[in-house]
Amino acid sequence: MRFDQTILQVIPRLDSGGAERSTLEIAAAIVQAGGVALVASSGGRLETDIQKAGGEIVKMPVHSKNPAVVWSNADRLAKLIRNRGVNLIHARSRAPAWSALMAARRTGAPFVTTFHGAHKAVGPIKRWYNSSLVRSDCVIANSHYTAGQVAEVYKVPPARMRVIPRGVDLDLFDPARVAPSRVEELVESWGAPVENVGLKVLLPGRLTSWKGHEVAIDAAATLKTKAGSGKEAGLTLVFCGGAQDNSDYEKVLRAKIDERGVREMVHMVGDCADMPAAYCWSDIVISPSIRPEAFGRVAVEAGAMGKPVVAAAHGGALETVVDQESGFLVKPGDAGALAAAIERLAAMPAEERAIIGENGRARASSLYSASAMCEATLRVYKDLLSVRG
């Protein structure tokens, strides 16, 4: 698809996360299609990747929720739209969406928003704050679960909403492209005793209470107890993700690991610069979130890497994981159910686990490729610009 337009994406920061990765992938797709990709952000780890893809970073404090800064950002964005001939603006978070909305109204630029999460609307003030994401010409939801939540709360008409699932780069997340040396280097950088210690279990995700780390610790303790009674349940569990200014919760997790007596089983290794290698290291991947994931990219990335997934049965996981086929779905917050699913996978011959992983790879390839996500998003841009004439 040729697309010789100038698109401005607005996102608070460019660190880890599905919204940030989508920003990078869309920027690359715009450039590859012949357009100009601008990204307004306060910056972060993905800046260099966006620049390598041909995009341009425009630094501004769009991460701020301060009303005065939000207002000033609207002026900055409007000036940028006029100076650079921006054809369309796409906001990916609530605070910058307010600035983008004002800038779009001042300049007449078409305005797109994406719900990367089904934000809670507790009380009228919160609901109003969240509503910046539904005041656009087109609202993109990253799953049918998210779309349902948005439609229910904000009564967005179907004609103004599109469901575009989060995409995975199938070239990046391809087990055939990960050399054993990459896995060895990654494991060495972790500095934890994770080699050849029973079943290797990976929980990717930043250290935050709703990602289910505490449930996973309880599950590990349950399996340790069973192993002590004569049943084989040895495993190594790695939490792959940083605290991101949430050091208090990291301390809570470390205390819980000690309290449950699983220090030799559970390891926190911080942020990971090579997630494909991390998935390759693992035998299985878990995503035991206690709150519904809007999409749940971990399950799709793991599937793309040919790894069985155990996920909490709510939110986007109900779309991305087929129970008993590409993984297992368990009751949210139920450490016993999580332990049982891990134990079941541990008892399987490696060949059977490989079949489950192959099913996940096939599903990711057919439904959740980054190229399909990019093509669908550019189509939204093109349709809006066509309507605007």
CATH architecture assigned to 6-167+369-388? 3-Layer(aba) Sandwich (3.40)
> In the prediction, which pLDDT does 228 show?
61
Candidate from 236-240, 299-303, 311-315, 384-388 with smallest mean pLDDT: 384-388
Return the minimum-mean-pLDDT range out of 40-44, 113-117, 152-156, 194-198: 194-198
How does residue 247 score in pLDDT terms, banded at 50, 70 and 90? confident
pTM surpassing 0.75? yes
**Can you give the three-state secondary structure of the chain, one letter per residue?**
CCCCCEEEEECCCCCCCHHHHHHHHHHHHHHHCCCEEEEEECCCCCHHHHHHCCCEEEECCCCCCCHHHHHHHHHHHHHHHHHHCCCEEEECCHHHHHHHHHHHHHHCCCEEEEECCCCCCCCHHHHHHHHHHHCCCEEEECCHHHHHHHHHHHCCCHHHEEECCCCECCCCCCHHHCCHHHHHHHHHHHCCCCCCCCEEEEEECCCCHHHCHHHHHHHHHHHHHHHHCCCCCCEEEEEEECCCCCHHHHHHHHHHHHHCCCCCCEEEEECCCCHHHHHHHCCEEEECCCCCCCCCHHHHHHHHCCCCEEEECCCCHHHHCCECCCEEEECCCCHHHHHHHHHHHHHCCHHHHHHHHHHHHHHHHHHCEHHHHHHHHHHHHHHHHHHHC
pLDDT at residue 9 in the model: 98
Q: Which residue has the higher pLDDT, 364 or 296?
A: 364
CATH superfamily of 175-367: Glycogen Phosphorylase B; (3.40.50.2000)
Q: Which residue intervals of the chain bear CATH 3.40.50.2000?
A: 6-167+369-388, 175-367
- pLDDT band per the 50, 70, 90 thresholds, residue 232: very low
Which of 59-63, 88-92, 134-138, 205-209 has the lowest average pLDDT? Answer: 205-209
On average, the pLDDT of the chain sits at 91
> What are the pLDDT digits (tens) for 261-284?
999 899 999 888 899 999 999 999
